[in-house]
Amino acid sequence: MSSTDLLHLHLVSDATGETNHQIARACLVQFEDVRAKEHVWSLVRTGSYLDKVIAGVEANPGPVLFTLVDPDLRRRLEEACRRIEVPCLPVLDPIVMTLANYMGRESHPRPGRQHEMDAAYFNRIEAMDFTLAHDDGQQVHDLEEADIVILGVSRTSKTPTSLYLANRGYKTANVPIVPDVPPPDEIFHLKRPLVVAFTTDPARLIQVRRNRVLMLKQREETDYVAMEQVRKEVAEARRMFVKNGWPVIDVTRRSIEETSAAVLQHLEARETGNV
């Protein structure tokens, strides 16, 4: 297959298909210059719908990643893929089998089980409500109820990281560090939450801020995007972080997912005493 060819990738699921989508994306980024078209087949729970899926694979042959628990649907899809001569992979089977063997227990498959509204689901909703109410320093009187408090100067990805962590079930507040404005006294007395600080390269920060200024159609000639002032702002914030013993994460060119993973590493280290 040349770099100019189009890869047809069929994602077949008896639920929302989100698991297939995430796995496919994580794998595709490992290949450079690959043109891929994802054919998403979700809520595949009947034979008639599976017929449409098979017809789609025949029309655009390509690898099939599937999460189906119905044994008859699985068998029919695998037989069709063998006939069409395309790979067919049950993406969750190796993990489920490994866990079952280790625990000595049988799994009990049910479509969409991971999306049921269980306690974890409602915890995520509660975390999201808390995070939205505590975005950008909106509320500081009850920060002790947070799991994580993020500090950082403007445009260091505090809000998107907070929302990502909230979706993982962590109550996350973020507080901006503003030049010449004392931070809320409450952050210096927190006991329960993990307080973590974000920093970044000043040059990169100015690029991000300039894009923000242009989007808002504001004037650029301000200290907000002046190199000397931004360097001073970042340096002073970092001195405060170090002085208070807060872990500092450099978010320069990190994705939100990578930054969130770093935050959770600090949280786990604190909870296990491996700080």
DSSP letters for 192-234: SSEEEEEE--HHHHHHHHHHHHHHTT--S-SGGG-HHHHHHHH
Annotation-wise, does 273 bind a ligand? Answer: no
The CA dihedral of 28, 29, 32, 38, to the nearest 10 degrees, is 40
Helix/strand/coil percent split, the chain, to 5: 50, 15, 35
Q: What angle do CA 218, 228, 226 make, to 5 degrees?
A: 10
Annotation-wise, does 275 bind a ligand? Answer: no
Closest listed residue to residue 36, CA positions, set 8, 65, 10, 4: 8
Annotation-wise, does 210 bind a ligand? Answer: no
Residues 6+ apart with CB under 8 A from 242: 248
Annotation-wise, does 159 bind a ligand? Answer: yes
Closest listed residue to residue 92, CA positions, set 56, 68, 128: 68
Residues 6+ apart with CB under 8 A from 23: 65, 91
Using DSSP bridges, classify how beta strands 6-13 and 35-41 pair: parallel, antiparallel or unpaired. Answer: parallel
The pair phi, psi for residue 158, each rounded to 5°, is -65, -50
Annotation-wise, does 156 bind a ligand? Answer: yes
Annotation-wise, does 232 bind a ligand? Answer: no
Annotation-wise, does 13 bind a ligand? Answer: no
Annotation-wise, does 157 bind a ligand? Answer: yes
Dihedral sign, Cα of residue 142, residue 148, residue 153, residue 155: negative
Task: Indicate the annotated binding residues for ADP.
Answer: 152-159
Task: Indicate the annotated binding residues.
Answer: 152-159
